[in-house]
Copies of this chain bind each other. A is one copy, B any other.
Amino acid sequence: MNAIGVDVGGTKIAAGVVTSEGKVLNRVRYPTSASPQRLLANIVRAITEVGDRFEVGGVCLSVPGLILSEENRVVYSPNLHSVEGIPLKEEIEPRIGLSLTVENDANAAVWGEFKFGSRRGVQHLVMVTLGTGIGGGVITHGVLMRGAQGAGGELGHVTVHATGPRCACGNRGCLEAVASGSAIGRRAREVASEHPDSALGELAMERKVLGEDVTRLANEGDAAAIQVLKETGRWLGIGLAGFVNVFNPEVVAVGGSAINAGEFLLEPARKEVRLRARPPSRDLVEVKGATLGPDSGMLGAAALARDPKTGEYILES
């Protein structure tokens, strides 16, 4: 039996019909909306359209923010306020004729990587997604670690530098404050002013430098941009080293848009993990880019869709 995974993001709704082997049989995209009613309508339209003419056992939505997954409720979602507080299951199910559950996007992404990624045999997997913020998901002993309320896995909000820069969450020195896409942009603007003759410095004279600019300039060989990514990669590695000591995972997968910077970030991160993590965890772990790319949320959501009668994951039954 197939399942539908729906990645509800800040800019788009991506829905797909997924087989138990992780093959996407059909996919559609709709825009998100700041209007709760239009957002709901687009989610319903995406599911109805994509699932038409396929045998489907159920649907799961992957949504950014704090989700109480037992209640299928989004408590808050900083980048998608229109979804907050809506009784998604109750609103959508009658309009699609299928059972529906709701999961956190980082949990869906790590589950997708676990089920369909290149290292699907592992039982202990940590995933960190670098975007505007930092999301996290953890598989331990083959189980998605949700915590008591489904709010676990907030890997972006561990303090790695108590006196460090202010984080969007209000604290100082969270991993997100020093290693996210936003942190890359902020650090790039500082380095640009120190190196006004670099390509980074010249761009900063014209307009606000963003994280993606830094990756592009690094690929073109700009030393200042490379320096920014290297520093950020070290901070990332300081955080990952802690996760390696805590979880003793086989794989740490780094995903999200900022991982387009690839080895510019991963190589210094690995170096820091080798320095800071302890044996034998340090020697076992493989730190690598996520293998599923932008589909991971949709695939993971599909794999988390449940049979309403048994509660089992549809793609496993």
Contacts and interface: CB of A to CB of B under 8 A. Distances in A.
A160 interface: yes
A163 interface: yes
A171 B275 contact: yes
Interface string A249-288: 1100000000000000000000000011111110010000
Interface stretch (A26-34, A90-98, A139-147, A301-309): A139-147
A8 interface: no
A174 B91 CA distance: 47
Copies in the complex: 2
B281 A151 contact: yes
A147 B247 contact: yes
A191 interface: no
Given A141-B143, A161-B161, A155 B275 contact: no
A245 interface: yes
A227 interface: no
The interface centre, meaning the residue of A147, A152, A160, A248 with most chain B CB atoms within 10 A of its CB, is: A147
A145 B141 contact: yes
A158 interface: yes
A169 B154 CA distance: 26
A238 B163 CA distance: 11
A150 interface: yes
A159 B241 contact: yes
Interface in A20-79: 66, 68, 75
Interface string A118-137: 00001110000000000010
Given A146-B248, A154-B246, 8 more contacts: A75-B279, A147-B281, A149-B281, A149-B284, A154-B248, A158-B158, A159-B242, A161-B161
